[in-house]
Amino acid sequence: MKRSIRKLVTGSMAFMALFALSCLRAYAAPLVATCTIPVQQHFTVLSGSDAVPVGGDEITYVLKADVVGNPMPNATSTAAYSISSLSTDESEIKIKGDNISVTLPINFSSVGTYGYQLKAVSPVNSEYTLDSKVYHVVATIVNDPSGGLTGDFAVYVSGDPTLQKYPSAEFDNKYYKAIVVPAPTPAPATPHPSLSPTTGDRTNVIKYVVLLGGAVLVMGIAAYLHRKKHD
């Protein structure tokens, strides 16, 4: 009888120990898998370009879920990048600078496959040439053998039939603005002397002509009177 009771107590204790251990594992195991999308940005200022204005090296991207309801990244802001929500299935990502590598974290709470499209969208003007590639990033979330969830992202170029995997979503954006050289100010024209007499000169010439004509007339009258006197 005592032996049976001892076996029962020992079995109960072993069961309780296993139950407690399983509860501890379940409690300690992460119920959320955090996966990150690796993104690399290049921002090249082409040779001969004018300087980039302050803040002009910031490129905006949009991350759109393949299916409404897919988990999206939380809003955040750092010196290199920021994330904000556009809608339930779209997020806006802004990345600054050249040769910048960032990781965009997304939390998953269920086993499954989750796809997203990532592309550069702005600035849109003649000074920028944005990388036209659209990346398809896919997270595969599975049960971790030790408990909880685990997973990772795979990065593809959207539309690539080979389904080649890439280490990151890499964008090569370019900037060029022609340097505007101001036109030289023309030198004032040198005035050319006029060959025609001015109004004042014309007046003086007329005076001289009148005086000369008067003198000739007086001399002619005097000569006439002198001849007449001696005739």
Residue 217 lies in a domain: no
**Which range, 6-10, 179-183, 204-208, has the best average confidence (pLDDT)?**
179-183
Tokens of 149: 């969830």
In a domain, residue 8? The reply is: no
pLDDT band at 163 (very low <50, low <70, confident <90, very high): very high
Of residues 146 and 226, more confidence is placed in 146
Mean pLDDT of 172-189: 85
Task: Examine residue 17 and state whether it is found in any structural domain, yes or no.
Answer: no
The answer to whether residue 55 is domain-embedded is yes
Q: Output the CA torsion 215→217→221→222 (10° steps).
A: 20
Rounded CA-CA distance 64/114 in Å is: 11
Q: CATH number for the domain including 102?
A: 2.60.40.3050
Classify residue 231: in a domain, yes or no.
no
Task: Kindly state whether residue 219 falls inside one of the protein's structural domains.
Answer: no
Q: How many domains does the chain have?
A: 1
Q: Is position 78 within any domain?
A: yes
Instruction: Check residue 24 and give its pLDDT.
Output: 40
User: Which domain, by its residues, includes 70?
Assistant: 29-175
**What is the model's pLDDT at position 17?**
46
Q: Establish if 95 belongs to a structural domain.
A: yes
Please state, in angstroms and rounded to a whole number, the distance separating the CA atoms of residues 93 and 95: 7
Q: Is the pLDDT of residue 95 over 90?
A: yes
> Quick one: pLDDT at residue 9?
41
